[in-house]
Amino acid sequence: MKPDLSSLLHDLAAEHAALDARVADLSETEWRSPTPAEGWDVADCVSHLHYFDGTAILALVDGLAFTKHLDAMLSGGVQPGADVQFGRDNSGGHLLEDWRRGRSALLTALDKADPAARVPWYGPPMSLASFASARLMETWAHGQDVSDALGLEPVTSDRLRHVCHIGVQARPYAYLVHGVENPDTPVRVELTGPGAGEWGPEDATDRIAGPALDFALLVTQRRHLDDLTLTVEGDTAAGWARIAQAYAGPAGTGRAPLGAA
């Protein structure tokens, strides 16, 4: 059963709060802790979320203005690194307060939006529910980088199901941005633990199974497949697992195995 929008917004707010709890009491030195994302520190991760929460509001309330922003970004009219600049120009505490205001405004904009709307974004336009799920996925994924930087365990909850769901739904997009032909072969996904769920036909011969946390780490490219306890059966499933990408934008390079030199 698909969650209703109010449930999604509740979960998005909870994901915001989970990350907030991890950064609320950081010292300025801790805000500058390096993350596994090359060249990014903790402040950069939160600044990135803050920036794209802002463009998400734009997409929700003024699609034409968002399209102009997207055109400017694609043509080089938006300064590279604009998403992290605010966090580099301000203290961690200032960034935190601005992010709190911005994410509250995002929740309001989502709540007021037309449930039947198709929302423009950096990839294909999305339904409102998928758009909200995508913001949750982004918050969790960059929150994972923050957790890694601070030596904390991943945030695990039933909200992981949203991350996994959008990872499954984004399978055709992953092929597209990686320049790989979509084989259109069904893949069965069976996940356990917090966020557990099942996707794809039960009789599919290609399968991915294991903890929902591991699948979420895979599709957000926060861990290499070699470092996860996922069972992957079939050539199609294996091919998808190598390029799985839940987020919009160019093909990601993924992370190297943790044991790599």
What does the alpha-carbon distance between residue 232 and residue 209 come to, in Å, rounded to a whole number?
7
Interior CA angle at 156 toward 228 and 235, to 5°? 30
36: phi then psi, degrees, rounded to nearest 5: -65, -15
Q: Which helix (H) or strand (E) holds 199?
A: strand 197-199
What is the pLDDT at residue 231?
A: 98
CB atoms within 10 A of CB 146: 26
Residue ranges, the chain, pLDDT below 50: 1
Distance of CA 67 to the CA centre of its chain: 21
pTM: 0.95
Output the CA torsion sign for 70, 76, 49, 90. negative
What does the alpha-carbon distance between residue 198 and residue 105 come to, in Å, rounded to a whole number?
33
Provide the token pair at 13: 């707010």
CB atoms within 10 A of CB 30: 15
β-pairing, 187-192 vs 206-211, is parallel
Amino acid of residue 241: A
Could you tell me how many residues make up the chain? 261
Interior CA angle at 152 toward 17 and 130, to 5°? 45
Task: Tell me the longest C-alpha to C-alpha distance in the chain.
Answer: 54
What is the pLDDT at residue 4?
A: 86
What is the pLDDT at residue 202?
A: 97
Helix 82-89 crosses helix 42-61 at what angle (to 10 degrees)? Answer: 130
For residues 87 and 95, the answer to whether their CB atoms sit within 8 Å is yes
